[in-house]
Amino acid sequence: MFIMKYFIIGLFIGIVSFIPGISGGTILYLSGEYHNFTLYLTNFKKYYAYILLLLFGALVGILTFAKIIELGFQIYPNALKLFFAYLVFFSLFPFLKKEKVKIKILPLLLALVFLLFLATFIPESPIIYEKINLSLPFLAFFTLCGFLDGFITIIPGISGSMIMMILGPYFLYKSLSAQVFTNPLLFIPLVSYFLGDATGILLGAKFTNHIINQHKSLAHSLILGLVIASLIIILPFKEMFSFSGLIILVIAYIIYELSNIKA
């Protein structure tokens, strides 16, 4: 049962990879498994099953929910954002209480302001890619994008999707993931992206865990600031105070209580 928890965490990471503003690292962090995950990385031969299961869960989440998330954003964009924001919100405070984290106000505010400032560069309209050229330079570029996405998204509070939106490749990645079953050739760039993504996740997790271990209070304060900022970025405030917003709140809370993602 414990090992299946890693598949479920990976599944959530894959799903939220399409939600600009929510970090896959936040899911891992709030699950209470961030330290264990990086610990397993240092002894990959012994714990490879946990790592591969998490990465496999993320891959399943991406391929299975890509079309669903895309359709959801076309029909109910605010409802989806609100739902995932509530899941993160419900997980946050029990985790902080459990970890007995001492928060420093200045680092928290700096992280919050930094991410809110960064969010101002998100393009208002999506960048459309009508066709791609499956050349080696493109695949190398797309692999590098995957690495950057993975490295960033595993850092709690920073959304790899949001950074990819600012840089451009997000919409191509989302489009390829949604159409991959209609065009098998699209597996080629996606595999290159996933390889870069997995490498970025592994190295990013080691880097972040090192910072947390060396400067625990500072690291937790920065992460909390990033998470709060990410929630502010994605929250549709008008939707929150509507009847549908109340229903979403109840559904999110029930799913949070039933899931293994809670801290």
Model confidence pLDDT, tens digit, residues 80-117: 788 878 877 877 777 667 666 678 889 889 988 988 88
**Full DSSP string of 158-216:** --HHHHHHHHSTHHHHHHHHHHTTT-GGGHHHHHHHHHHHHHHHHHHHHHHHHHHHHSH
What end-to-end distance do the CA atoms of the chain give, in Å? 16
- Burial category of 191 from C-beta neighbours within 10 Å (exposed 0-12, middle 13-18, buried 19 and up): middle
Note the pLDDT of residue 236. Answer: 83
Q: What is the chain's mean pLDDT, rounded?
A: 77
Note the pLDDT of residue 127. Answer: 47
The dihedrals phi and psi of 244, each to the nearest 5 degrees, come to -65, -35
- Is the four-CA dihedral 92, 171, 60, 53 of positive or negative sign? negative
Q: Cβ(236)–Cβ(244) under 8 Å?
A: no
* Higher pLDDT pick, 176 / 245: 245
Portion of the chain with pLDDT greater than 70, in percent: 80
Per residue in 67-78, pLDDT (tens digit) is: 777 677 778 878
d(CA 217, CA 32): 16
Position 262 pLDDT exceeds 70: no
Per residue in 201-218, pLDDT (tens digit) is: 778 877 877 777 788 788
pTM over 0.75: no
